[in-house]
Each structure stands twice: as structure tokens, then as C-alpha cells.
Structure 1
Amino acid sequence: MSLSTKSTGDFSGSETDPSKLRVVIQCFGSRGDVQPHVALGVAMKKRGHEVCIFGSANHGPLAESMGLSFYALFEDFEHSIRTHADCLESMQNGNLQGFIRYFTSDELRQLRAEQIGPYMKNLREFQPDIILSGVGATYFGEIARHCLKIPVIGSRLSSAPIDGSRSPWGLPHLPFGMSKLLINFLEKSAYDADLKLDKIACEVTGRRLYGKVVTRKNWSGSWQVPPRDFDLLAMSPQLCEVLYPGQHENVVPTGAWVLQSAAQTAEAKKGNANFGSAESLKNLEGFLQTHGAPVYMGWGSMVSGTPTEMTRFALKTLKLLDHPGIILGGFARLSPDLLGGDRSDEELLKFASEKVLFLPTAPHEALFPRCACLVHHGGAGTLNAALRSGVPSVITPVFFDQFDHAFLIEKLGSGKGTQQLQKITAEQLARTVESVLSDEKVRARAKEVAQEETRLNGIETAVGLVEKFVSDKVRTGEWVRSLEEEEKERQRREKEPLTERLTRVSGGLQGAFAVVAVFVSLLLFFALQAGQTPFA
């Protein structure tokens, strides 16, 4: 694979109004990972700041259509998944381990190492005052902070319940708070992946970062370690109270980062394919006028089985409900044109011609409030649009935080979560949707949640925090002085006598031994309860 170095916008680093900022927003992943960051960038540009998105190559058109500069730091996310057979198969089967294996592979690690040189070059040319670092960009953020001395603030779309009250990502819940050990294991695995990248990237950066400068105690990718300055979290406080008990005070839940309904509709009318077209809007309005509130079905960047199987699954669910529906094409490109190879397809196609509208894309903020129920995968972007709409959701998760979001709507009482999408049948999904459609309490609760979600202006809060931080900490020189003091302290510790270093390390070892002792004790306890002799 090779990296596109396409960039747009002014990278001259010219003198500007001191009240105006030069901001880099960097993130990797699906449309749902990127669009909230684009919304944040649009708001910053409206405030007069110079903004450049460093993202996946396939999201350049989205950023540029919204008037932002763009640099293709990462490869085309969708192309990578489509063309890497093992990765696509893992998603189709809901195999989390296989999916993670691809994103921690030697192939991808080498590609990341090749991206670092152009990344540093573009940062030097753009000269940002601050970087907002999101999904998949942790290592790049550490390079910017420690090698180029650029302030980096985390821009999170999700987090984890660090108090150990439950396990994240749909993983098994462990008793006695032991889910904290599972979170620790996940963090260690991610840190170790960065550590391996650092071993080959140091030839470009000129220094080893991980293991010395960046440790588990100050790594910005950690859920458990408080951020160095603060992180922005694109969720409301009411959601965080349910999802992330024990969250650090300097992880700030701002509310969602959203492109408003009017903006999305205007983009669709202009022919922005990310939101539709004038023709698709006309078809959508006609369908809504004829059929009333439909059941929406869309899975964004997720797949389950083949596109044909997904299309058949969606149509069968709607037919069992005998309810009008809108099906979004998404990554799988769902379409009635895929059907025809099965005996049941004729009836499904007849139903589709009478009561179903297929659209490649649509403006969620405009469409969702006009639906009766929203069936989706629970990705961060879709979740926030759904919660803001006042319409109940049925979340059919596939990976990662989507399981947390299914848990969330159950706890909020504004919808239902199912088991993994790959494991449910159309009959099961239809029954779940029907239970939501017929439940007045769920519909009322969805409206209550939406009132609080729409009351907040997450983008305004986030932009205000960034502006204040730059004004108070960056422009005054306080931030860089603090970083330099940390570096001096690290160097001092490296030179301290061996006896002092052993004394300091022993405290950490005692903690590690305590964890092992607790784990072994519990293992023995459960084995004895089961009447078994462990290690036999």
C-alpha cells in the first residue's frame, strides 16, 4: 500500500490574527468516526480559525465539501476493508479478534511507519497551535506532542466504565469489580501495539518514545489514566452517567458534535453524496407523505454476511412487521437489485415495491425525527442522531462500543438492544421492533432524552474549551514549559542511583503482585466451588 499525500488549503504558516487559531483535527476510521470531527472543524472555521482535517483518504470529499482543508494522512478506510479478505470476512462474521488482528498486523504497522514522515512534514508546514486527536491517531498525537512540542487534546467519541462496574464492548462481565482487569488487559494490548510501531518508527522520528517518554502511566490512549490536560468527549453528561461511571473529571462530556439538519439538507440539495441529492430528497419526501412514519433500517459501515443476505434480512423484517420502511445502502450497498436468487425473493421484492424506499445515503438529522423506529448498529454518530431525534431505537451491535450503546438505550428506556447482528434472525428483530412500536413508555422516554440532548450545544462547548486552553496555557508558554519540566524530571530519574530506582519500582511491583494474588485466589475459589482441583 502507498500513502496519498494529497493536501488542500494554505500550509504556508503565515502570520495571522493572534486571536485566531491554526487547528489540526486528526482521526481515522469510518464515516461515523469522522463526521463529528468535521462538524467540529466547520464550527471552528466559522469562528475564524484555520482548520485542516488529517484523516482517511476516502473522507477528503466530505471535509472539502464543508469548506475545510484536508490532508490524506491515512489510507482509504473503506477500500482497505473491502480489499482485505480476512478483514471483511471478520466483519461479516462478527469476529472481533479477526478484525483487531488486521488492525494490529505487521502489514498495517509498516504502513503507519511510512505515514509518519509525511505527517511530521505537513505539521511543520501547517504550524498548528493545537491538535485535536481522535479515533486511531493516538501514536501520531504522541509524536506531535513529544517530538514537535505541539499541544494535543484528545477528541473522544466514546470511553469505558473504568470503575469496573461492567465490561466494555459486549465482553463478559466479571464479578467483584474484576472487569477493571479486563479493561487493563485491553489497554495493555493497545499500548503494546503502539510500542511495536514505535520500534520501527523511531528511525523517522529520531527517538524512541514508548517505554521511556510515553509509558502506561501517561499514555494518551488510556481510559484509566487521567489526560495530561483534558480530553473532549462528544457525549452529553446524561449519557456518560450511564455509560462511564468513575470517569475522570478532565474528560469533559460536551454533548454531541453534529452537523445540523438544515446544513445536511442543504448539502444534499447541492449534490453532496454523503447526504443524498435533490432527487433523493424529493423521493424521500414523497414516500413520507404517502406512507407516514417508517421504520428506518441502516447499518452504516457495518456488514453481516453478504450484501444480498443483509438486504433479504432487512426486507423480511419489514414484511413481518407489515410496516413501511426506509433502508439505507451504507457500506454494504444494500439494494433490491441484489435479490432474485432465492424463492422467497419474489414476495420480498413485491413488498419492497409497495412499502419500502431504498436510499444510498440520507441526512440523518432531517430523516430520523420523521420515523417511527430506528434500527441501526449503534455507531457513535448514528447513536447521537438517533437520541436527538426523539424516536426509539433498536440497536443491533456488531463491534466495539456499539454493544455499550445497546446497553445505554436499554438503561435510558428509550429503546432496545439486541444480541450481535450476525446472531439474530429477521423474526427476532421483527418482534423486538414491534415491542418498541407498541410501547408508549419507550416512545415517551425517547422524547424526554431528546429534549436534554438537543438542549446542549456540544460543539460550542468544545470550541470554547479549546480556545480558552490555547489562550491560557499555550500562548502564555505555560504548556511548553510544563512539557520541558516533565522531560527534565524524566532525565533526572534515569540518572538516579540504582537503589533509588529499585525502591521506586518495587511499589509498582507490589501492586502487580497484589493483582496476581487476587486473581489466583478467585480462580482457586471458583474451582473449589465447582469441586475441581485447579492446575490438575
Structure 2
Amino acid sequence: MAEIVVQLAPEVPELTVSLQPPEGHASVRWVKEELCRQDPTGAAAPESFCLCSAAAPELALEDAAQLTVGVVLLLLDGEAARSANEARCRAAHEEAECWAREEAGREAAEAECWAAGEETECEAAGAQHWADEAEWEAAEAERWVWEEAEWGAADAARWADEPAHWAREEADRQAAEAERWAREEAEREAAEAERWSREQAEREAAEAARSAREEAERRTNEEEEAQRRAREEKAGWEAERLAREQAEREAADAARRAREEAERRAKEKEEEAQRRAREEEARRKARKQPLSEAEKRAMDGQRIAIIMHGTRGDLQPFLSLALGLLACKPRPAVKVFSDEDHCNSLRQFGIDCARSTDTSSQQFLQTRKGIRAMTEGDLQICFDESCDGEDDEYWERQDGPQIDWVKEVHGGLDRFGATLLIYNDLTRGYARPYSMTRDVPAIRVLLQPHGIPSNEIVPLEVQRRVVREPDTPVLRLWMMVVQWSAEGCLTDEHSQPEVPIRETPESIYDMYFRIEDAPEPVLCAYSEALWPAPADWPQRNVEITGAWKVSREEQGERASKGTSFFNEGQHQRCTEFLRAGRPPAYIGWGSMMVHSPEYMTKLAVSALCAAGQRGIVLAGWAGLSPSLLPTLGDEARRLREYCAKNVLFLKAAPHEWLFPQCACAVHHGGIGTTQASLGAGLPTVVTPVFCDQYDIGEHVQKMEVGFATDQLAKTSAEEIGRAIRACCEDGRYRANAKRLAALMDQEDGVTRTLDILKRFVTGEWRTGEWKRRHMDYKASLRARRREVQHAGAGLFKTAAWTVDLGKRYPVMAEYWASQDRLFKELEQLAREQKLWYVKAPSCLARTEKTFSAAEAGRFLEFALLQELQREGSRLQVRRRKGVGPVGGWVSIAVPGKEIVAKIDSVERLWAVMDLCNKRRFETVRLGRRRQ
């Protein structure tokens, strides 16, 4: 619908007319005719319109183009023309009258002039003529004006009737057009219907023909297939029979091979068990067999040097060994090299000592690093170079003269004239170089089973920091320890070139994995009843001697004399406390300290209060004391009152004398204290701090002779109190501890060790057999070192170690084979770009793709994930390597942080694995520079 603005005359208001053009458009002619039809004045005529359009200003009156819908302004000029004609007539009439009057006046004036001038009659007649002519012209002008007016009126009347005529013609035209359009549309639809019917009939006929043809072909094919199957079935009966017989033969062969393999393995296992039984029986007989006269006098002339560092728990076994050596007849010369504090304690027993370092383990553990390591349960913090600067004064004393101390100890050994060295792992850097340069036997001593590789024992160096991947043997962690130690050797070789003799990667590997080939035995100074040898340990050169301990009688006698090592003058008070009531619970953490002495004092007293037990608390290196209990509040008052009535604090405790008089023992799980408590038949509560103490606590709980709590800094008084109460009230734990104590009581570790040493001196050292094996071993080390250095492919050959481990441990051979298969699959996934790795420290996985789904677990850093499907920023993955759940849905990234990254090539895969290994080496350091 278009709105047309019509202005009939300047003095007439505008008229708005609504038009509905046919098919949305209007021709100029149609618009003008329609306006004439709707003009209420009847004065409009088509020819009198002037077109103006904002949409098409260039459009002329005679154009036949279509007008678009919009506001179109048409100026209606019919009435204006009529008004103009009338104005022109009036103007012409007025002009004629004016001209006639002027001409008549002029002529009259001329006539008067002629009359006054006495003109001739001719001139008067001429004037009259001109007057008559003027009158005629005036009459003619007046007639013309009225005729013109009549003509205009006639034209206006004619144009007024014209719109009706146009409307009738337009209606007739539209009716004819509509009739024509309807007739053409009907004809077109009829033709279209006929064409569609014809095409549909043709299609149906073609489809029917195709279906018939396909049905015929299908039947033909079915007949041919039936015939072929019949022929194949007839011809394949024999082949099937032969295949069935072949499969039965193969199955029978496989079953026979499996049965033979099982029988072979069972036989080998039985033979191994029998061999072990024979060896164990031989060892028992050897232990019971009295020494020969030569062996009894083996210590004659021997000069035995003991080199040890460590805590009070490390010192006491070597104290008992030194006392046992000094009790031999004939008596050897014995000298102990240790720190100043240990030397002072040993001198109380009449043992010759010399310093081997200017720092002690007590000083070391009481540094900020040491306390943080014990509080966090990670010994490696003490050797973490990233923490340097916390205890600079201590490390300056330790690092500066360390090389000089090695030379000092070697000089002291030379002056002593040592013929045999006995050392623990903390003094390996002193003993092994001396043995290699002076050709003196050096016997390694282990106080716990964590120094010999086994698939059943986690090494001390990775107790907490390395999370083992599923299906990864524990021996893989031992291999990592050897690699880290070898790296430390090579670092020392470059940073300390002035040291002439040092460990090499080959000697480190031999010390762990070739113990049976070593010239000297390894002595395990702990109870075999408590911790039997694992099945995969070396079959020779390892001797579990039993615990080295000072006898109960010896401890009681020395405690009564008030030595600082046992009771420090509190023996009488301790005796009176024991007699004053029921057997107490013992709580002692020895050299350990977490948080602060105040924290540990409150923890001990609160645990006894929670258990409702009397107790004896060992002060230890932390210096626990009742004066450290809190003083403010009702709880502090209650603890102090309970402590005053029920708790005794001791500076030192003779375990062998004290423990049989107690109800249970609570301690950190050191191997020495554990053997003392269980050897006395005491149910034991282990509150581990770090290192082997975690395993010992689990072992105690597994044997049902006590409990293991959370790490000491994380456990609570309530947890310890519940364990104390269970140990005291449940007779099962005491009965199990008593049975274990009876077995341990049959062991005499010091006597067994002395017999081993005497037989070694007699059978190996004095015969020259040790010297021969020792020189062969040195030559082998030199040859292997030259071979590796000459190869130029690396300073130590881990590939050769891998092969050797596969031969020694079947579980490692299976592991290496599975890793080969796994990495082939990972390489293929990388090529297919279906492999991802966890780039963040961890990655949360959910069971479903929605964020509200349950958590499946967390993938740790560098876990390799196979992409199963992807929806936007979410991935469904399956763990192929690393630590985490089996699978789940993970997010690729969060705002500002990438969680997982794609591995799009084999080179990228190996780069990620190299980075993973480097990160592990950075995370766990053995701290060889400070050992």
C-alpha cells in the first residue's frame, strides 16, 4: 500500500490517497489514472500531473517503468492550469480594455488637437476611423476573452468526465487480464499434471522392470552360491578334517609344552628350595661347628679398624661388636673412627677411637634442614642442593675440609696398621678407596635389609619421592639408585680431580648387583627371625648374623654405675618408678625430632593420658622434659598433673635392661630399637619419621606384633593412645611378640659375626685367596672403565647393566620386554596423533565427560595418555604409562594453564621421556657431595 500526496492548488490543502498497486508496483500511467478516479474535486486530468519521487527522482512522466513502494509525491496541475487560464483571460481582457481606453483617449486628444489646429476634414475622418478601429478591437478582445473562458470551461468539463472513462477502461482491462491469466494458469496446471502423470507412470514402469531384473539376478546368484557352497562343502570336508587334526595336534603340543614348562619350573623351584635348604643347613652346621684351633687364633695379630658414622642407633651395634672383638682370645687390636660425640661414648667402654669428621649426626639432624627433613618425612631434603643457604655455617664446616678428613682417616689407618676394615654405608667414601689403594679387606655392614637390591624392598633413597608406576618392579627403583649414584661419581670426577681414588660407575653397580662376585662378604647385622632374606637375594657372600647388641647384664651393670650411655645416674629413680606400679609404656624417639621439643613432649604425655597408662619417656636428642609442657589453660593443667603422677623422663635408657619390665614400646621404628623391643617380647607401636622406618612399621603390623601409625609429624596423641591401649589390652599382640622374641633369643649376632671374621681371616686372607680375587676384581674394574671411556658413547653403559639385570632377575627381563612392546605401541599412537602427556603437576580425571561427574583419580606429571575420543576441550583417555587411574575424561587446559599436551611425533615422545627422566634425577639426589 503506497501513500500518495496530492496538492490540487497552492491554496488547497494536501490530499493523501492510499493506493494498492497491482503486484506491488505501479506504472506512472496507472497512478495518474487512479488519482484522477479518486480526486474528490473532479478537476484532475492525467496530463496535468507532474511526478516527483524521492525513490526515483529521475523518473519522467512518459516512462513506463514500475514504481517501488515508497512515499511518492504527485503534484496535481489540472486545477492549477484552469486557474492559470482564467487569470490569463482576465489579464488579457483588462489589458485590452486598458489599451482601448488609452487608444480612445489618445485618438480623442489627437482629434481635439486636429480640431484646435484647424485640420482638414480628412484628418478628422481618419481619426474617426481609428476610433472605430479601436472600438472594434476592444470588442474583439472582449469576445476573445469570453470565448477563451468558455473553451476553458468546456475543457474542464471534458477532463472532469475523463477519469470515469479511464476507470471503466482500467476495470475492463483488469477483468480481461484476470480472465486471460486464469485461462493460462488452468492450461499450465493441466499440462503440468499431464506431464507429472506421464513421468510417474514411466518411473513406476522402470522401477518394476529393475526390481524384476534384480530379483532374477538374485535368484541366479543364490543358485550359483548354493552350488558353490555345495562344491566347497564337499571339497572342504577333507581340508576341515585335516585342519581340525592339525589344531588338535598343536593344542596337544602347546599343552605338553606348558605342562613341561610348569614341571620344569616346579622342579627348578623345588631344586632351588632344596639347594637353599641345604645351604641353610650347611650354614647352621657351620655355625654350630666349633672353630678349629687355627680359626680360634685367627685374631692373633689382627688390627681391625671400624669406620662408622650415624646416630646413637647406628653406634650401639658397632659398640657391641667392638666389645666382642676385644673379648676374643687372643685379643686383636681394635680402633673405631667416628665423630667426636661417638668417640667420647666409646671411650667410656675402654675402646680406642679417632675422629673421622668434624661434625656429628646430632649436629647434622638438628640443623634447619635436618628438622625439616624429619618433619616432612624425607631424608633427601638434607641433601637437596635447592635448599642450600639454610644452614651455610654447618655446610661450610662440612664441605671445606672434607677431602682433608679422608686423607686424615687414611693416615690414621696407616699409622694404626689396619689389616681389616669394617664400615657402614655412610663411611663408604673412606673405606673402599683405602681398600683399593692399600689392598686391605673392607667388609661392608648393613644394619637393615635396605642395602641389597630386592623386588620386595624399596631402597632408602626413594622411600617417598618416587611414586612407582603400576606393574613396575621394585628392582627398577634400585636401578635408578645405581644410575643416580653413578652420576654422582662422574660429577665428583669432574669437580674434584685432585682426589686420586674414588668410586666409579662400575664399582657402584658391582656393590649393588654383583655382591656374590665381591672378594669380601656383606654382613647384615639384624635378626633373621625378624626379617628373613628375600628369595631374590644373592646366594653367597651375604650373611645375616643376627642383631649386634650389648647384653642385658652388661647394660644393667653399666646403668647401675651411672654412665652417660645408659641412664646417666637415673638408674635408682628408674628402678623405683618401675616398682611403684603396673608396667609402664615406653615412649622414645631417640635421635628424631619433628616440629619442636615442646610439640613432642606434649604428644608423648597426651598419648599416655589418652591411653590411661603410666609411661617412661626418653628425652633423646630433642631433650624432652616435663618443663616443656604447656602452662596455660585447663588442658595444660590436666597434662601436668597426669605427668607428675604417671610419667618418668629419662635422659638415656638401657633398652635391653628396661624393655622386659615395660608393657609396650612406642618409638620411631629404627631397626635397633625395634629389635630391642620385639626381642624383649614387647608389643611395639611404630611412629615412623623417614627412610626405612616406614617399611619397618608396616613389617611390624604385618607380623601382628604391634601397630604402625601415621608419620610422626602427622599422627595424633589419640591415634598413639589407641595403639598403646590395644597393645596392653589385647593379649594376641603380646603372645606374637613373645614367640618372635623366643626365636630372636636363639640368635647371637656378635658371636656369629666373630666366627665369620675368623673364618674369613683364616680361609681367605692368610691363604692369599682374598688377595688373588681382590687383584682380579681391580683389573676387571680398570678394564671396564677403559672400555667405556674408549667407546665414547657414554661414561657408563646402562645398556650393558640392563642386559645383566635381565639375566640375574627374570622379573626384570619380563619388564624390559613389556617396555619394548609398550614403546612400539606408543610410537604408533604418536604417529597417529592419539597420544598425550600430562604437562601439569597433576591432572584430574572424571568418570564421565561432564564436570559434575565423579572423580576417577589424578594422573601425575608425565603420564602418557591414549586419546579414545574428543569432544571440544574434553578428552576421554586411557593411561598407557605413568601414575594415575586406568582412564577417564580430562580437560585439555584451564584458563591460563595447559593441563595435557599432544605428542605428535616419535621425536616428541622421546623428548618427553628424556624430560621425565631428567626431572626424576633433579627431584631425587643422593647428595654424594656431602656423604
Q: Same fold (TM over 0.5)?
A: yes
The root-mean-square deviation of aligned C-alpha atoms, in Å, is 3.2
How do 1:445-456 and structure 2 match up within 5 A?
445-456=736-747
How do 1:77-96 and structure 2 match up within 5 A?
77-81=360-364, 84-96=367-379
Q: What does residue 218 of structure 1 align with?
A: 510
How do 1:10-89 and structure 2 match up within 5 A?
19-47=300-328, 48-81=331-364, 84-89=367-372
Question: The residue matched to 1:323 in structure 2 has which SS?
Answer: coil
- Alpha-carbon distance in structure 2 between the residues aligned to 1:501 and 1:400: 37
Q: Deviations over 1:281-319 (max 9, x none)?
A: 111111111122101000000012110010001101111
Q: Deviations over 1:162-215 (max 9, x none)?
A: 3323535554565324222223223433444455445555524x345424xx53
- Alpha-carbon distance in structure 2 between the residues aligned to 1:365 and 1:445: 19
- Alpha-carbon distance in structure 2 between the residues aligned to 1:78 and 1:370: 30
Deviation at 1:269, TM superposition (A): 2.4
> Does the 8 A contact of 2:311 with 2:362 survive in 1?
no
- Alpha-carbon distance in structure 1 between the residues aligned to 2:316 and 2:785: 43
Do residues 339 (structure 1) and 629 (structure 2) align?
Answer: yes
Deviation at 1:62, TM superposition (A): 1.8
How do 1:451-530 and structure 2 match up within 5 A?
451-492=742-783, 508=800, 511=803, 514=816, 517=820, 523=864, 527=879, 529-530=886-887
Deviation at 1:505, TM superposition (A): 5.5
Question: The residue matched to 1:71 in structure 2 has which SS?
Answer: strand
Do residues 186 (structure 1) and 481 (structure 2) align?
Answer: yes
TM-score, with structure 2 as normaliser: 0.51
Deviation at 1:267, TM superposition (A): 1.8
> Does the 8 A contact of 1:162 with 1:223 survive in 2?
yes
Do residues 405 (structure 1) and 699 (structure 2) align?
Answer: no
In structure 2, do the counterparts of structure 1 residues 288 and 527 end up closer, same or farther at CA, with 3 Å as the change threshold? same
> Does the 8 A contact of 1:162 with 1:224 survive in 2?
no
- Alpha-carbon distance in structure 2 between the residues aligned to 1:95 and 1:507: 31
Question: The residue matched to 1:332 in structure 2 has which SS?
Answer: coil
- Alpha-carbon distance in structure 2 between the residues aligned to 1:510 and 1:83: 40
The amino acid of 2:471's aligned partner reads F
The partner residue of 2:428 within 134, 138, 142 is 138
Residues 334-343 or 426-435, more deviating: 334-343
- Alpha-carbon distance in structure 1 between the residues aligned to 2:618 and 2:554: 20
In structure 2, do the counterparts of structure 1 residues 30 and 461 end up closer, same or farther at CA, with 3 Å as the change threshold? same
Question: The residue matched to 1:527 in structure 2 has which SS?
Answer: strand
Deviation at 1:360, TM superposition (A): 0.7
- Alpha-carbon distance in structure 2 between the residues aligned to 1:50 and 1:136: 23
In structure 2, do the counterparts of structure 1 residues 497 and 436 end up closer, same or farther at CA, with 3 Å as the change threshold? closer
> Does the 8 A contact of 1:236 with 1:253 survive in 2?
yes
Number of aligned residues: 514
Greater share of residues in helix:
2
How do 1:420-459 and structure 2 match up within 5 A?
420-459=711-750
In structure 2, do the counterparts of structure 1 residues 226 and 174 end up closer, same or farther at CA, with 3 Å as the change threshold? farther
Residues 338-347 or 35-44, more deviating: 338-347
Residues 300-309 or 82-91, more deviating: 82-91
The partner residue of 1:264 within 555, 560, 580 is 555
- Alpha-carbon distance in structure 2 between the residues aligned to 1:497 and 1:392: 53
How do 1:202-241 and structure 2 match up within 5 A?
203-204=498-499, 206-211=500-505, 214-219=506-511, 222=512, 225-226=515-516, 228=518, 229-241=520-532
> Does the 8 A contact of 1:163 with 1:177 survive in 2?
no
Residues 512-521 or 374-383, more deviating: 512-521
Give the number of the structure whose alpha-carbon radius of gyration is greater.
2
The partner residue of 2:403 within 109, 113, 119 is 113
- Alpha-carbon distance in structure 2 between the residues aligned to 1:435 and 1:173: 33
Deviation at 1:354, TM superposition (A): 0.5
The amino acid of 2:434's aligned partner reads A
The partner residue of 2:602 within 312, 325, 348 is 312
How do 1:385-400 and structure 2 match up within 5 A?
385-400=676-691
Question: The residue matched to 1:70 in structure 2 has which SS?
Answer: strand
Residues 507-516 or 105-114, more deviating: 507-516
In structure 2, do the counterparts of structure 1 residues 245 and 198 end up closer, same or farther at CA, with 3 Å as the change threshold? farther
> Does the 8 A contact of 1:325 with 1:356 survive in 2?
yes
- Alpha-carbon distance in structure 1 between the residues aligned to 2:478 and 2:308: 23
Q: What does residue 11 of structure 1 align with?
A: none
Q: Deviations over 1:376-401 (max 9, x none)?
A: 00112211111210010000010111
The amino acid of 1:379's aligned partner reads G
The amino acid of 2:887's aligned partner reads A
The amino acid of 2:879's aligned partner reads A
- Alpha-carbon distance in structure 2 between the residues aligned to 1:132 and 1:119: 14
Deviation at 1:240, TM superposition (A): 2.6
> Does the 8 A contact of 1:256 with 1:458 survive in 2?
yes
Residues 400-409 or 482-491, more deviating: 482-491
Deviation at 1:324, TM superposition (A): 0.5
Specify which structure has the bigger relative contact order, considering alpha-carbon pairs within 8 angstroms and separated by 6 or more residues. Answer: 1
Question: The residue matched to 1:467 in structure 2 has which SS?
Answer: helix
Deviation at 1:253, TM superposition (A): 0.8
> Does the 8 A contact of 2:602 with 2:630 survive in 1?
no
Residues 379-388 or 34-43, more deviating: 379-388
Question: The residue matched to 2:418 in structure 1 has which SS?
Answer: coil
- Alpha-carbon distance in structure 1 between the residues aligned to 2:618 and 2:788: 64
Q: Deviations over 1:477-500 (max 9, x none)?
A: 222222222333444556679999
Q: What does residue 3 of structure 1 align with?
A: none
The amino acid of 2:746's aligned partner reads R
In structure 2, do the counterparts of structure 1 residues 359 and 102 end up closer, same or farther at CA, with 3 Å as the change threshold? farther
In structure 2, do the counterparts of structure 1 residues 141 and 321 end up closer, same or farther at CA, with 3 Å as the change threshold? same
Deviation at 1:20, TM superposition (A): 3.6
Do residues 292 (structure 1) and 582 (structure 2) align?
Answer: yes
The amino acid of 1:349's aligned partner reads R
> Does the 8 A contact of 2:381 with 2:387 survive in 1?
no
Q: Which runs of 5+ in 1 are unaligned?
A: 1-15
In structure 2, do the counterparts of structure 1 residues 416 and 83 end up closer, same or farther at CA, with 3 Å as the change threshold? closer
